[in-house]
Amino acid sequence: MTLWSSLPQFIQDNDAQNGYPWLSFLEGPGSILQTIDDLVRDVVTPTPYPGWSIVLDVTRCPADALPWLAQCVGVRFTGSQTTVAEQQTAITSLQGFSRGTVASVEAAANAQLNSGSCVITERDPDAYTVAVSAPSADLTGGSWSGVVAQYATWADLETAFATWADLLAQSDAFESAVENALPAGLNVSFSFT
């Protein structure tokens, strides 16, 4: 309608006399373009939002764009998610929806620890690096001093761990869990105290 009203007045008058063929013609491509315009345009009132943010916010996302948003967090809708509320719940309940948050990184790291907790420092030393520090004694495999105390002789140690990689597997599992909880493009530095 906005496109039609921008036509010169004499065209609008002729269009009205002839049963609005121009308005009908412009309505087809105009409705497609209006959908795109609604997605990309900044919203000023009642609450200001930047353009495109509507398709990235599960609470404001249009129903026809929810499958697209779902694929961003690894969700595929089955026939059981038929309502918008069920689809929104499926998207937000997946662990990947919180990926990269400090809470999700802490949860992944703490799952690899016996007790205690890790310390996560964001933006250390730059905006694209996360520093993770954990007590080595809390790793599920234990610290070097714990290994020495548990295995009195070299033969006992060789029996328990076939290779050095097996001995270091617990710190590798810790590092892998943290790296999997972070989004691509972030660097992580580890320190075991």
Percentage of the chain modeled with pLDDT above 90: 4
Q: CA 14 to CA 28: how far, in whole Å?
A: 20
- Whole-number CA gyration radius for the chain: 28
pLDDT in tens, 150-165: 777 777 767 776 665 5
For residue 77, the 8-state DSSP code is -
Residue 163: CA count within 13 A, CB half-sphere: 3
What is the enclosing helix (H) or strand (E) of 145?
A: helix 144-150
Amino acid at the residue 160: A
Left, alpha or beta for 112 (phi > 0: left; psi -120 to 50: alpha)?
Answer: alpha
**Which of 16-25, 58-67, 146-155, 175-184 comes out lowest in average pLDDT?**
146-155
Our CA dihedral for 148, 153, 159, 162, rounded to 10 degrees, sits at 60
The pTM of the whole model exceeds 0.75: no
What mean pLDDT value characterizes the chain? 80
**Position 17 pLDDT exceeds 90:** yes
Nearest to 171 by CA among 110, 112, 105, 116: 112
Q: Cα 90 from chain centroid?
A: 14
**CA angle, residues 133, 138, 142, in degrees to nearest 5:** 115
- State residue 123's pLDDT score: 86
**Strand ranges in the chain using DSSP code E only, listed in sequence order:** 119-122, 129-134, 187-192
Structure tokens at 173: 């599992």
Name the band, by pLDDT with cuts 50, 70 and 90, for residue 170: low
Left, alpha or beta for 123 (phi > 0: left; psi -120 to 50: alpha)?
Answer: left
